[in-house]
Amino acid sequence: MKSYIFHVIRVVVLSLVIAGIVLLLQAFFNPYWIHEKMNLIILFYFGLTLVSGLFTLYLLNINKENSVPILLGAGLIRLLASLMFFFLILWSGTENLLWFVANFFAIYLLYLLFDIYSFITNLRPHSK
């Protein structure tokens, strides 16, 4: 139970830091660089990271022997969900496509780095 709460706290803190960085960029630089759907992107990745991380922790607690397929499957699900969200937004017709793509993948990479870091620190106590 402690690992679930710790994961939720880390995802909330990460999302608040990213939202703060976005607000600072909008305040000090040209607000045109930040796409109008940036809040939706951050909210999507917050939910995706939270749900997939909790599900991964649950599956790892059930069966630690299958940790590699669980982690790879979670990464694949995150990638496919991100691509579906990306194409759904593009299909709905958004303006300023170049900045949307740049902002989307910047946020994707930040959350991906968080996932990789959390997986490495989660696997460290289980190594022999």
Model confidence over 47-77: pLDDT tens digits? Answer: 999 999 999 989 988 987 888 888 889 999 9
pTM for this entry: 0.87
Q: How many other β-carbons are positioned within 10 Å of the β-carbon of residue 29?
A: 10
d(CA 47, CA 59): 18
Contacts of 3 (CB under 8 A, 6+ apart): 57, 61
Half-sphere exposure (Cβ direction) of 47: Cα atoms closer than 13 Å: 8
- What is the predicted pLDDT for the residue at 15? 96
Instruction: Evaluate if residue 124 carries a pLDDT over 60.
Output: no
Instruction: Evaluate if residue 125 carries a pLDDT over 60.
Output: no
Look up residue 95 and give its DSSP letter: S
Instruction: Evaluate if residue 13 carries a pLDDT over 90.
Output: yes
